[in-house]
């Protein structure tokens, strides 16, 4: 009887842990819904990378990679992708890099920002989203 209770308890624990995992997955989906890629707001900018940083981002729902780009008119924060995506594909963006970016405008923390779709550095172009704007990660 104790064996059956132990197995039942273990199954219950696994079920609860699985439910927690599913709730965590819903948060990621919800964050991407809060900041959808709107092709109607797509723009192209060029400039110089002023800052490269990673932080827990509500846009991707993960630790995300971000750059701040100085353009002729101003500077703007660009949301790239989860840091793990950049590491997996060995994408390195450095302060001082001249970049051309195609992305969709959003408002993040009451400031204009971009969701990156494509970034060109020198002769290399990196894709972060497919033609429809769906994340590639």
Architecture of domain 39-127: Beta Barrel (2.40)
pLDDT at 128: 97
CA 94 from chain centre, in angstroms, equals 18
Nearest 10 degrees: Cα torsion 89, 94, 96, 97? 0
Q: What is the pLDDT of residues 75-124, one digit of tens each?
A: 999 999 999 999 999 999 999 999 999 999 999 999 999 999 999 999 99
CB of 37 closer than 8 Å to CB of 134: yes
Between CA 99 and CA 135, with CA 82 as vertex, the angle to 5 degrees is: 80
Q: What is the pLDDT of residues 9-46, one digit of tens each?
A: 434 334 444 433 333 333 334 455 689 999 999 999 99
How many C-beta atoms lie closer than 10 Å to residue 47's C-beta?
Answer: 21
Domains of the chain, residue spans:
1-34, 39-127
């Amino acid at each position: 009887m104790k064996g059956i209770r132990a197995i039942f308890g273990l199954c219950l624990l696994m079920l609860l842990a699985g439910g927690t995992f599913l709730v965590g997955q819903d948060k990621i989906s919800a964050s991407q819904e809060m900041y959808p890629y709107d092709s109607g707001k797509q723009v192209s900018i060029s400039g110089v990378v002023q800052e490269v940083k990673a932080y827990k981002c509500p846009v991707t729902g993960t630790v995300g990679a971000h750059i701040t780009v100085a353009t002729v008119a101003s500077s703007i924060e660009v949301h790239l992708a989860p840091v793990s995506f950049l590491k997996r594909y060995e994408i390195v963006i450095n302060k001082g890099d001249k970049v051309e970016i195609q992305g969709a405008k959003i408002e993040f923390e009451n400031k204009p920002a971009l969701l990156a779709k494509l970034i060109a550095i020198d002769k290399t172009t990196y894709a972060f989203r497919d033609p429809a704007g769906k994340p590639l990660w």
